[in-house]
Structures are given as structure tokens and as C-alpha cells.
Structure 1
Amino acid sequence: MKWSAFFTSSVGKKLVMAFTGLFLISFLIVHAGINACIWADLVDDSDNGEMFNKAAHFMGSSYVIRIMEIGLFIGILAHIVQGYMLELQNRARRKQGYQVAMGSKGSAWYRKSMGLLGTLILLFLIIHINNFWVPSRITYASTLGEVTYNNGAPIHDLYTRMLVVFSEPWEVILYIAACFSLAWHLLHGFQSSFRTIGVYNKKYVAMAKGAGVAFSIIISVVFALMPISIYFGWVNNN
């Protein structure tokens, strides 16, 4: 079988979804870790976004990270395209329906709604990129201020940008809704990725399911707490 035929087959599409999904999961861990830096002022009143700005600056100035960023966008695009192709393929198969009513034995709603959940996350991602990635990578100082720490070189003040964005109630609600969609998307996608790459042992499948539930909840709560903390003044309350 040709490689092109393999990657357009059902198995090939699922493998692309699995590997890109796992890659994006690793990105979420890194992203959540950087976001968590906004809470540094809970233990150091003088931080005022310094740790977050330095972490964000490192991610934007490191050549290795910038190269990985290209891979990230390719991974996101591949995940989206293959996801929609699989969704269309599954919808075509479901047109005939079941001869016997499945009742409550059918798949969980979030498994059957991966396309919808993914679309909601995509719409959020477009707004998120416009809020933060575009100012920090393209428009620069025209939309971002700069700050200097310890007489060093000026760096982008993304922390203040966050304070401005999350002062708007609709932005906070949007982010919380996106985190809700992300949680359900991950709940199925996490363990499904491991099944696709060949994890069938009952013990490891159970571990993957348990880890998937924990990861889905923790990562989504961490992301949701970021705009909530800023909006309600739990951070930067100096």
C-alpha cells in the first residue's frame, strides 16, 4: 500500500489523529505550566507578572521553541483536517442507522459530539490566537507594552495584555465555555489515542482511562482558573 493511500484510509486517519492528539496534549501541559506563572504573586507580592512575562518571553525568543511552534501549527491543522474527515466518514456510515435500537447502550454523547466540541475549540483558538499570539509575534509594540526587569532588555508585557483581555466578562465566559468543551473533548480523545496506537491490554486501558479523566479535569480547570482569577482580582490585587 502506498503511503498516500495509507494516510487517506480510515486506519491512517485515526493514527494521524492519535499522534497529533498526543502531541497537542503535551503542548497543553507546557501551556498550562506557563499560565500557572500568573499565580506567582500569591507567594510574592512584588512579582506583578514578572515570572509569567519571563516565561512567555523565553517561549517566544528561543529558536528551538519557535521551530517547535511551526510543528505545533502543522499538528493542529492536521488534527483538524483529519478530525473533520473522520466526522464526515462516520456521518455517512450512520445514515443507514442501527436495525436494533441501541438505547442507553450507545456511545456517550461526548464521543458522538467530538466534531461539535472540536469546532467550538477551533473557534476559541482563533480568538485566543488573535488575543495573544498575533500581538506577541506579528503586531508587537503596536498592541503590546514592554517591561524591563533587573535592567535587562525590554520584553513584551503579555501579563498586562491578559489583565486587559480578561477584564471583559464575555471573554471570561468564552474561555470557560472553551475549557468545558476541551474537558469533554479530552475525556474521549485521551484514552482513544492510546487505543489507536495499540494499547489494548485491559490493565493499561484502565490506566489510560483513569489518567484521561484526571488530565481532562485538571488541565481544563487550570485553564479556566486563569481568566477567573484575573477577572475577580485574585491575582494582581496590589
Structure 2
Amino acid sequence: MSQIKQTFNSSLGKKLIMALTGLFLCTFLIVHLAGNLQLFSDNDGYAFNVYANFLTHFPPIEVIAYVLYACIVIHALYALVLTVRNRKARPVKYAATTKSPTSWSSQNMGLLGSILLLFIVVHMGDFWYKYKYTHNVGYKEYRTDVLSNQRTVTDFQPQDPAFEHSATTEGNYEIVRVKDLRAKVAETFHNPILVLVYVIAMVSLAFHLLHGFQSAFRSLGWVHRKYTPIVEFIGTWLFAVIIPLGFALMPIVYFLMNK
């Protein structure tokens, strides 16, 4: 046990933990983007609102959410510890510097990570906290005729302050009442300052993942001349381009729709 503790207290152990938590967060980004793409569905917010309700009320997902929060905290703390340790190990800068093959993103992971951590706090305050613990989010009622698949949507005002959601049937109609998080998204992205904050955060995410995804595999020792180019391709195009671009398009599109 002491050997295991010693391993994870070492710089290598901390890098391993950062790699594992980082890859878990990368997996979450894929799932989160897939869910958020429901915002572009032309169904009066039905798909996205049902998705948001599922995330916050399905027990296994809630457990995974707490694992996610723990990974974010651990990843940030270990990054801070490694940064401080590296600076203490070399408190005086070199008198002369030479050109280094390291990328800008690898040299500024601390800055990029700090921007992302601040963004996560803002993001969760804007949506998760208000959705879960305040009455600032309204409700929608969706009535779907199961025979014709026609759906009508109206605002819904619950009489019980503790009401969260419901799914019932009346004759041929399926009735779903959920919080209208899509309206909250539209309201938030009406503010150009918040749109700019989100776009800057996604640019930071792109550079952070450009180095971080590939670095995680190197920290785990998964380096091979045959597979490393595949890792680099996925890290560059999926995680540094497609995913940040997908997230950034949401505030931009909703801002333009609100104009």
C-alpha cells in the first residue's frame, strides 16, 4: 500500500492521474456535445428539455455526474501541484533561451486550464444550478398524439412548488411536463458578453485538448509508431476542432436567432 501511495505521490503518478481524469473528461465532452446538439432540433425544445430532465433525474447518470465533478477537481488540483513543483524545481529562468519544438498550447496549459475552470463555474451557475435549485426556469407541456405523432406545446405552471416533471397519458395523448431549459439557453445567449465568454472558452478548450489529449496517451505509455498518428489525428480533428466548434456554434446561433 505504501508503494502505491508513493507512486501516486510522485510526479509520474500525478501525471497518470491527470491523464486518466483528462481522458474521462474527453469522453464526457463527446456525450455532452451529442446531447446539446438537440438544441438545433426543430421541435419546440422537446428533445433537449427531455434530455436535460433525463440527465438530472436518472440515478445512474447522477452518480456519473458526481464522478465527473470529482474528476474536474482532481484534474485541476494535480495540474496546479505539478505546475508549482516544476517552478520550484527551476526557480531561476535560463539566461539564454533556445528555440523549442514544444507548441504554444503545451507551454500555456496552466493558463488555458485556468480559463476553462473559470468557465465551468460560470457555465454551471448559468444552467445547472439555476435548473436544479431555483425557480428561474419555466415549464413546458408537450402533448403528443401517438396515432398521428402530432405534438402541441404550451407553457405550464405547476401548482406544487416541489414539482419537477411528469409523464402521463390521456387517451391517445402522451403528456410530458418538464422544465424549459431551452428557453433559458436562448435567454442566456441573448447577452453578447456571455456569448463572447463562451466562444473564448471554446477556443481555450481547443488549444487545451490539442496538447492534452495526446499528452495523456504519452503519460500512460501508450506510444507506438503505428497508433500514435491515429491518436494525433483524433486529438487534432475531433477534440481540438470538431468538439470546440460544435459547442461554440450553440451560443453564436442562438445569439443570431435572437437578433
Residue by residue over 1:88-125, the C-alpha shift from the partner in whole angstroms, topping out at 9 and shown as x without a partner, is: 1222234344576322x242121011010000001111
Q: What secondary structure sits across from 2:142 in the alignment?
A: coil
The structure with the larger Rg is 2
- Alignment-mate amino acid for residue 52 of structure 2: A
Check the 8 A contact 1:121/1:182 in 2, yes or no: yes
Distance apart, 1:152 and its partner CA? 2.6
Q: Does 1:34 align with 2:35?
A: yes
Task: Output aligned runs, 1:19-98, within 5 Å.
Answer: 19-41=20-42, 47-98=43-94
Match of 2:202 among 179, 184, 187: 179
Whole-Å Cα distance in 2 between the matches of residues 135 and 155 of structure 1?
14
Distance 1:57 1:117 in 2: 31
**Which has a greater percent of strand?**
2
User: C-alpha displacement at 1:39, in angstroms?
Assistant: 1.0
CA distance in 1, matches of 2:197, 2:96: 40
Q: Any stretches of 5+ residues in structure 1 without a counterpart?
A: 42-46
2:253 equivalent among 229, 233, 237? 229
* Matching residue's letter, 2:74: A
Query: Which residue in the other structure is 2:124 paired with?
Result: 129
Q: How far apart, in 2, do the equivalents of 1:96 and 1:211 lie?
A: 37
* Counterpart Cα distance in 2 of 1:75 and 1:37: 26
Alpha-carbon distance in structure 2 between the residues aligned to 1:152 and 1:129: 29
Structure 2 residue runs without a partner (length 5+):
144-173
| Residue type at the aligned position of 1:19 | L
TM-score where L is the length of structure 2: 0.83
* Alpha-carbon distance between aligned partners in 2 of 1:94 and 1:4, rounded to the nearest angstrom: 25
The residue type equivalent to 1:11 in the other structure is L
For each residue in 1:44-83, what CA deviation from the matched residue of structure 2 results, as whole angstroms up to 9, or x when unmatched?
xxx1211111111111111110010110111111001001
Task: Please tell me whether residue 166 in structure 1 is matched to residue 189 in structure 2.
Answer: yes
Matched ranges for 1:123-162 at <5 A:
123-139=118-134, 142-150=135-143, 151-162=174-185
Q: Offset of 1:143 from its aligned partner?
A: 1.0
RMSD: 1.7
> Residues 135-181 of structure 1, C-alpha deviation per residue, up to 9 Å, x if partnerless?
12222xx1110112225342111000001000000000000000000
Question: Could you tell me the TM-score, scaled by structure 1's length?
Answer: 0.90
Provide the C-alpha distance between the structure 2 equivalents of 1:161 and 1:184, rounded to a whole number of angstroms.
Answer: 29
In 1, Cα distance between the equivalents of 2:193 and 2:30?
25
Larger relative contact order, structure 1 or 2 (CA cutoff 8 Å, min sep 6): 1
Find the aligned partners of 1:87 and 1:11 in 2 and give their Cα distance.
13
In 1, Cα distance between equivalents of 2:223 and 2:211? 16
Check the 8 A contact 1:195/1:205 in 2, yes or no.
Answer: no
CA spacing shift, 1:133–1:158, aligned 2, 3 Å:
same
Alignment partner, residue 44 of structure 1: none
Q: How many residues align?
A: 227
- Between Structure 1 and Structure 2, the one with more helix by share is 1
Q: Which of 184, 204, 215 does residue 192 from structure 1 map onto? A: 215
Which is worse superposed, 109-118 or 94-103?
94-103
